[in-house]
Structure 1
Amino acid sequence: MTEKIDIHDVPIDNVSMDEALDAVLEMLKTKEKHMIFTPNAEIIMQANRDPELNSILNKAHLVVPDGAGVILASKILGKRLKEKVSGIDLVKRIFASTAKKSIGFYILGGKPGVAEKASINIVSEYPKAKVCGYRNGYFSNQEIPDIIKHINDSKAEILLVGLGAPKQEKWIYNHIQDLNCKIAMGIGGSIDVFAGTATMAPEFIRKSGFEWLYRLIKEPKRAKRMLDLPRFMFLTFKTKLKKK
């Protein structure tokens, strides 16, 4: 059991990237089913307004801090998290660490054709990675039973779901018991990055904490969503003042 640090009613595992990877590898040794989520400040604010999402994050087996804002909030609140553990970096570490162990992956999400491109690029970058199947994220509720069957038939042990928050978290939680995989992980837009249809911020920008600005410049349509960032910091300082 890792230490959990509460950030606005969302329990974040206080782990380093190496410790998060170790936790994932340990999950693969069990017969149990596990949910992994990677909330940033936006998702924590969504959970603040959405009791269902909040409940799901509280029931997850591993919740890592994907964002400089979450790390900063932990410092302000006096409950310092070890480091940022971004979802895409964790997934890359998982690919690299499981490539020789014949661990199967299934990719669910993205626009038509994106999951397929992501699969091709992943195998190109990690030649021994085993992508058992993929499916785009555009489907009706009536199609879900067939999708679950396809995932189970693929024998994948890790399901990567990129439907965007909070849809991916709710989808995983609602269907985890019907899935045969050991791990279901929400990865948001990482599928697009793997497919090459979106780009990651340069490393120096990611380390500086201004990845949100890079993403806003690249995707101006995110402006409304990003209003949650100042709201998150306001809530953080408000919480800090209440504790004095």
Structure 2
Amino acid sequence: MSKKISVLDISIDNFTAKEAMQEALAYMESDLVSVIELVTIESLMELGTEAELKEEIENFDLILAGNKTILEAAEITDHKCLRETEDKTFLKMFLRYLARKHKRVYLLVESEEEGQKMFGHFEEYYRGTQIVGMAKVSAKNRADDMLINAINGEEVDCVLSALSSPLQEELISKNRNVMNARVWLGLGKDGIPVSAKGIGGGRIGQFFMKQIFKKEIEKSKKRGN
């Protein structure tokens, strides 16, 4: 398997889409929930001061870059890896698998609008997927016990989380041992096109976020020196 890389103190698996998919398929055969995280520029920035949570993230089963800028920050130059990351090849492969096998999926979002857009995305591109539940999750009004009971009651194969950081990582880290599912896939807010436009939304917002991220990378390298 490919080696890990480190970006802003987060260890990331530098896997090809095929290698990542092989891991994910093995997780789908396990009785214990496995955690896959697609880290984004935004999530890496938000997790910057979360030392304890970063330690918890080290226990996730598979951590992949969700943006080629993250790989570039680690000086990865392999064109195939950069292209697959930018095209979200692994995510598309995994979602096609869920649809083809008619897997049971529970969606986590932060707003009704995002939920509608995500559901519509599955209806258009991954129709065979069984969406058995959807929940709106708020950092201010957490109700973890009710949420986990709802998920466990649906015999879920995959929990698909489109939550912002650190909410997404906190939720699975705290509840992993009591969740009945095969895979938790953390997409973050921009994993698939469901996010409302904000600082990270749109080309202008993404450009400025990348500039801020690059500055943080430079600071991190200087501290390392």
Which interval holds the TM-score relative to the shorter structure?
0.7 to 0.9
Q: Secondary structure at the match of 1:6?
A: strand
Q: Name the residue aligned to 2:202.
A: 215
Rate the CA distance shift 1:194–1:177 in 2: closer, same or farther, 3 A: same
Q: Secondary structure at the match of 1:75?
A: coil
Once the 2 structures are TM-superposed, how far is the Cα of residue 21 of structure 1 from its aligned partner?
Answer: 1.9
Q: Does 1:182 align with 2:182?
A: yes
When the two structures are superposed, what TM-score results if normalisation uses the length of structure 2?
0.81
Q: How does 1:67-146 map to 2 (within 5 A)?
A: 67-75=67-75, 82-83=81-82, 85=85, 89-138=89-138, 140-141=141-142, 143-146=143-146
CA distance in 2, matches of 1:69, 1:117: 26
Q: Does 1:234 align with 2:222?
A: no
For the 8 Å contact 1:109–1:136, the answer to whether it is kept is: yes
CA distance in 2, matches of 1:81, 1:178: 38
When the two structures are superposed, what TM-score results if normalisation uses the length of structure 1?
0.76
CA distance in 2, matches of 1:51, 1:95: 32
CA distance in 2, matches of 1:21, 1:189: 22
Q: Deviations over 1:25-81 (max 9, x none)?
A: 1110111211111223443343332102311221111000122222112217x9999
CA distance in 2, matches of 1:21, 1:192: 18
- What residue identity is the alignment partner of 2:27? M
Compare 28-37 and 115-124 and name the one that shifted more.
Answer: 115-124
Where does structure 2 lack aligned partners over 5 or more consecutive residues? none
Larger radius of gyration: 1
Rate the CA distance shift 1:158–1:15 in 2: closer, same or farther, 3 A: same
Where does structure 1 lack aligned partners over 5 or more consecutive residues? 199-211
Q: How does 1:137-216 map to 2 (within 5 A)?
A: 137-138=137-138, 140-141=141-142, 143-190=143-190, 193-194=193-194, 215=202
Q: How does 1:21-36 map to 2 (within 5 A)?
A: 21-36=21-36
CA distance in 2, matches of 1:109, 1:97: 21
Percentage of pairs with the same residue:
18
Once the 2 structures are TM-superposed, how far is the Cα of residue 192 of structure 1 from its aligned partner?
Answer: 6.8
For the 8 Å contact 1:116–1:134, the answer to whether it is kept is: no
CA distance in 2, matches of 1:51, 1:13: 20
Q: Secondary structure at the match of 2:74?
A: helix
What is the RMSD of the two structures over their aligned residues, measured on CA atoms?
3.3
CA distance in 2, matches of 1:44, 1:136: 23
Rate the CA distance shift 1:191–1:12 in 2: closer, same or farther, 3 A: closer
For the 8 Å contact 1:102–1:130, the answer to whether it is kept is: yes
CA distance in 1, matches of 2:127, 2:57: 33
- What residue identity is the alignment partner of 1:7? V
